[in-house]
Structure 1
Amino acid sequence: MRYAMRILAVSGVLSVTSLMTGADAQNPVADFFLDGISDKAEDLMAKARSEANAVTWGVADAAKSTIEAWKQANIELLDKAFTDLSKQHQELFNNMNETMDRLEAGENLVVKDAEKLTVEWASVIKDLPFVDHSPEVMNYRPRVIIPVGEGEVPMVVDGPSLGSASPSLNSGDKRIPVARSTDNQLLAKLNRADLKFDEVKSSFVEYKLSFDNSVSSWWRPWTWGKKERIEREATVWLLPKQMASFTITPMMPSEDVAVGTYSTQVGGRGKDTPYPVNVPLAPLWVDQGYVYDTATIAQNKFFSNAGGDHADCVGAKIDSIKSSSFTFMMQMGHRSVWGGRRDAWVNCNLAIPIVKRTPSRVKGDEITGVLNWTDDSLLSLPEGTLDYTVTLKMFNGRTYVLTRETADPTGVISVQKTEKGLLFRPKPPSDF
């Protein structure tokens, strides 16, 4: 931060965080305070150009022009305490300072707010009392032009005595007719079709305004009637034809699967007969949400013989397998003892597969596309979509992640959920 100190505007009361020289710390001189806002605006403009952020650039440039114009029209007030300014001008500059602070902190400024601020600040310049001021460019608008809209874009240039200074406006070699609205305001009509809007990148166009300035002095007769031609540049940011690119990430139904093994042992005794045993799932596993993996149990590969005499472990009875129990079958033969038949027996080790399935969500295939300034876009979501996120990369370099509950943060596009999918509806701004 290159400022000597930070001036904060809170509830209309100004305070300075560092000591000042030559001014009451509670009532900084107007010039000092305004220079601080101008410095912020200048830094923001440089950063905005590097980040392709047309909204911030336009607002910061408008603030800088407004301050410079106000200072030239109110030189006698610059050494006054800030609190000596009119309440209207205190509120104006406090609002401007707060806006610069918000932008410095990376806070989003939506387009409709940018439009409102630049119009308000331009109206301040229009009403300034430029008494006996030489011709000069104090402000111009728009600073940002979009690719769509009326065929003619009105360009307004404000400044003292411009109307009587033989003004002319050029873009390169092309001369653009300029009319006088008042002696302090010029109006030119730019042809939108002549502006070269790139498909995906911002671009700039430079306009040169030329006007006469008298260099005549009464004590130098040889200068009487002489004038010099002065040139000033007006830079306009042209937004790309593509307003935004988007990525839709649908959230699809899925499940998390955890597997385990319930180990137990069963056994039986009998003679020449099948021997069934009911095997319920232990409460320990039931309480954790597990059930039998019925499909795997049906393969009958989960058991082994733990010892016996003339009997076998057979396996699960297929039609008995349920999520919490099944019937395990053993086959008893007989033992021949002294010419008679005695009971057979067997023990079986069971390592029963169990599973817990928990509903969850997974990202589906992403849907991508681009949006222009005029056309609605309806995008279908996959069947069964539970939710979605939309990532918008806007023309101004900002990226937003929207959900079903997120309101439009940009002011230039709405995202609506319909029965058929997502509807992107552009709301193009005016030139600002």
Structure 2
Amino acid sequence: MRFREIVAAAALIVFVSSGCATPANAVISEVVGGTILLNKMKESVGSLIDQARDAGDFTMWRALITMRDALDAFERTSGSLLDKAFKDLDKAQQDFFRKADADIDKLTIVKDTTLDDINGITAQWAQIIGTTLIGNGKPYVVSYSPRVVVPEGEDVIRLKILGPKFADADVRLVLSSSASIGGASPLAYEADFRLNRKELSFKDISSSFVDYSLDYKEDPDSWFNKERRKKSDLTLWLLPKRLAHYKITTRVTVSTRETDTKTVNLGQFKGRNSRIPRAVPVPDSALGWRIDLTRRNEIRLIQGGADKGRCEGIEDNSITENGLTMFARVDNRDQFMNTRDAWTDCSISLPVYRIPPPQEADGPGQEGDLGWTKDDSFPLPANLISIKIETAIFDKRAPIFTGAGADKYFEIRSEGGLIILKPRPPREL
């Protein structure tokens, strides 16, 4: 495919994806040269990549990496285009540059850019890379995965790199200035490498990046430049060992049970040869006090002063929470002409309880660290009023949840009487 056709195809992707072949906010000088324009765009994208890395923004970083790869692919296939001024390009070529310029502006002003915008940009430029490289006839990195790696999992990580002509390009992955490894049976459009997860330097609470280079023959089909080699940058984002720290606190209703023992003066019982019953109400019943039937064996009659009388007993069947019936016995105390009533003074000791209106109080809680591969759970108390889940995520955000919810790296579910914190490692398009 000739270069003009390649750029036209890429421009068609821009038109279909964005609905506009010429973004209104993309203004480019008519006289600027292709080389200057392309280098300036690559410089801007490189600066934004560094900012996204520092911020730990994987979504933005991925979009910018894809755009950088697209600009590299464009440069490789441009031929004499780079010697021309912008005004001398045809409409399809100009639209290609306008698209890049507009997307760089959009990704620069992050506060005005939605997640859908960023994901859309990533998808569009991924398509453009593939279209631009069709028919080029040289090895080149179209994409690779994974770009993000979690600290837990199988020891061997398969790094898969897609691109044309790898089978003949003597592909090697450069790990450092002094070490490299060969690909495992490279195919025409794929090279595989095996990385050891244990050898990667994962941090505890912050993410980091590791940079590799893919080293390969630039043009293995060329007679004169067959041994000339080229490098393409590959960056892996290493997630920290701790996704987030969380603290769960709850507020619950608490019903307390107050207990006490109250003594009631029953007064005086008078009479002759009789059994005198008396109903005993619960003292302070208006305040919620009741007889504590679980302690009924603590009910006691208290004998006071007496003359031929006594505090004799309690009607067992009469005992309820609301009161009871006791009885006293008075005998015959008549002597000759001296006749008068026998008497006795009685009191009673009652075990009582009351349950005040429910009060709000701090309930059970939980604090811990959430990793990338295992759920954490918290049992909800039955008398729950409210719950607060405070989180401190590795990217320095600290969202607070009051129940089920979701973050881009985890979700919180409420099911089966549990709060479940479920990690969601970033997934690539």
* TM tier relative to shorter chain: 0.5 to 0.7
Alpha-carbon shift at residue 371 of structure 1 (Å): 0.9
2:195 aligned with 1:190, yes or no? Answer: yes
1:246 to 2:246 alignment: yes
1:62 aligns with 2:66: yes
Contact 1:208 1:234 in 2 (8 A): yes
C-alpha change, 1:171 and 1:215, in structure 2 (3 Å) is closer
CA apart distance, 1:204? 3.1
Residue 123 of structure 1: how far off its partner (Å): 4.9
Please state how far the C-alpha of 1:374 moved relative to its aligned partner: 1.9
Native 8 Å contact 1:30 1:81 kept in 2: no
Unaligned regions of 5+ residues in structure 1, if any? Answer: 1-8, 219-223, 255-293, 296-358
Q: Residue in 1 aligned with 2:406?
A: 408
Structure 1 counterpart of 2:91, which letter? D
Larger % of strand: which? 1
Name structure 2 gaps, 5 residues minimum. 1-16, 255-285, 288-357
Find the structure with the greater CA-based Rg. 2
8 Å contact kept, 2:77–2:136 = no
What's 2:23 paired with? 14
User: Which one-letter code corresponds to 1:423 in the other structure?
Assistant: I
Question: How many residues are paired up?
Answer: 305
Report the CA distance between 1:415 and its aligned residue: 0.6
State the AA in 2 paired with 1:416: R
- The structure that is helix-richer by fraction is 2
Alignment of 1:236 onto 2:233 = no
> 2:23–2:98: 8 Å Cα contact kept in structure 1?
no
- Supply the AA of the counterpart residue of 2:379: S
- 2:91 paired with 1:84: yes
The alpha carbon displacement at 1:163 in A equals: 3.7
After superposition, the C-alpha distances for 1:355-389 in whole angstroms (9 at most, x for unaligned) are: xxxx9988878642111122221113456432233
| 8 Å contact kept, 1:179–1:188 | no
* 2-structure distance, mates of 1:185, 1:87: 32
Question: Which whole-Å CA distance do the structure 2 matches of 1:44 and 1:140 have between them?
Answer: 20
- Distance in 1 (CA, whole Å) between partners of 2:227 and 2:427 is 38
- Report the CA distance shift for 1:226/1:70 in structure 2 as closer, same or farther (over 3 A): closer
Structure 1 distance, partners of 2:401, 2:238, is 26
TM-aligned CA distance change 1:107 to 1:394, over 3 Å: farther
What's the % identity of the aligned pairs? 22
**Aligned 8 A contact 1:245 1:370 in 2:** yes
Quote the Cα distance in structure 2 between the aligned partners of 1:10 and 1:121: 11
Provide the residue aligned with 1:349 in structure 2: none
Corresponding residue number in structure 2 for 1:175: 181
Pairwise mapping of residues 276-295 of structure 1 onto structure 2 (< 5 A)?
A: none
Aligned pair 1:100/2:98, yes or no?
A: no
Match of 2:208 in 1: 203
The one-letter amino acid of 1:22's match is E
The one-letter code of the counterpart of 1:379 is: F
In the TM superposition, what are the counterparts of 1:358-373 in structure 2 within 5 Å?
367-373=366-372
Q: Please report the TM-score for the alignment, with normalisation by the length of structure 2.
A: 0.54
Q: What secondary structure is seen at the aligned counterpart in 2 of 1:128? A: helix
1:374 is paired with a residue whose SS is coil
Residue 426, structure 1, aligned to residue 423, structure 2? yes
Q: Which residue in 2 is equivalent to 1:300?
A: none
Contact 2:67–2:125, Cα closer than 8 Å, also in 1: yes
Q: Secondary structure at the match of 1:211?
A: strand
Q: Does 1:51 align with 2:62?
A: no
Query: Could you tell me whether the CA contact under 8 Å between 2:204 and 2:241 is conserved in 1?
Result: yes
Amino acid at match of 1:72: R
| Partner of residue 262, structure 2 | none
Q: Provide the C-alpha distance between the structure 2 equivalents of 1:191 and 1:97, rounded to a whole number of angstroms.
A: 35
Q: What is the RMSD computed on CA atoms of the aligned residues?
A: 4.9
Instruction: Name the CA shift for 1:205/1:129 in 2 (closer, same or farther; >3 Å).
Output: closer
Q: SS state of the match for residue 64, structure 1? A: helix
TM-superposed deviation, 1:122: 3.9
Shift of 1:69: 1.7
